[in-house]
Amino acid sequence: MKKAFSCANTGLRALSGALGRVGMSPVSFAAFVMLALIPVIFSNNEYIIRLSVSCLIFGTLAMGFDLSAGFIGVPNWGYASLMGLGCYTSALLQSNFGITPWIGMIVSGFAATLIGFLIAFLTLRMDGVFAALLSWFVGIILMTVIAAMPQITRGAMGLRVEPLFETPWATPYFYVIFGICIIAFMCLKLITKSHLGLAFLTLGQDMEAARTSGISPLRYRTINFIISCFIGGVVGGFYAHFVCILTPNVLSTKNTVQVLVLAYIGGRGSIWGPLLAAFIILPIFESMNSLLELKYIIYGVLLILVMIFFPGGLSSLLRKAKDFCVQKIGPLLGQR
């Protein structure tokens, strides 16, 4: 038994090393494989597939949000507005210029990156709260501009967007956002494990210590912020062609609150925690749609409770459970 356990442990370390080079771990790889099987397992349940698409959309947004909030301590309160900018960018490029959504999603990412760069350049020399506030104000301005230009955006009447696929089924959309989610996850994990990630963490913990170590706060915080914004823009471009109708409400603060709740409940600075939280929290709150706006109050109460009693979020709880298993159960298996 001891020899078998040793061989299995060696094989697991080899697998972990191979997956680690692409930003994965055996657990995250297994989780993504299970996610990929959702449309197969629930092929006759369109509701679950569409709900899974929503979980992937907001889970990916929450991962991007976590890069700034969890690593450099700058919560982007206008994150939904950047997603909304991506929505309208891709939609208008297709309707006015005939540009395919596959290119439009990338352009949407760069449009959000440009706004993110301007916010970062103006505010990230100072405390992160200034960037948070300015991004919120920019979001309000963008929503107002879109609502005030009905000749271009159709304002509150709603902009009709061509779907990504000529099918009423959600399965093709699931695999597109699934691919976006995996790429975002792997890139974010590789970034956070690199020297960039170390610089981000140092800036988030003690900016003055980082500055004395030769780390430029403005440079590295700007890099962090625009990467986060790019993810929001790309997901927004996909979202436009998934829902197929856009109103200025897509830029509203309540969508940022939803992303923020997932990031904080999942655990800041973990990347994978917000994605896990999306598949736990969103189905629960989907069942509360009859409560209308009351569910956003519940969001707020839940966020307060988590920040008081479980500040590390789900990722912290799972890490503690993993450490317990390694310390208590591992030696027992090795002795047999």
Closest CA to 189 of 93, 97, 88, 272: 272
Q: Is the pTM of this model over 0.95?
A: no
**In the chain, domain spans:** 47-254
Backbone angles phi, psi at 45, to 5 degrees: -125, 90
pLDDT in tens, 116-166: 999 888 888 777 778 888 888 988 999 999 999 989 999 888 899 999 998
Q: What is the CA radius of gyration of the chain?
A: 21
Whether 2 shows a pLDDT value over 70: the answer reads no
- Considering only the C-alpha atoms of the chain, give the largest distance between any 2 of them, rounded to a whole number of Å: 74
Helix (H), strand (E), coil (C) string for 44-65: CCHHHHHHHHHHHHHHHHHHHH
pLDDT in tens, 21-61: 888 888 889 999 999 999 999 999 999 999 999 999 999 99
So what's the pLDDT on residue 5?
47
Residues 247, 156: contact at Cβ < 8 Å?
yes
**Of residues 232 and 134, more confidently modeled:** 232
* Percent of the chain predicted with pLDDT > 90: 52
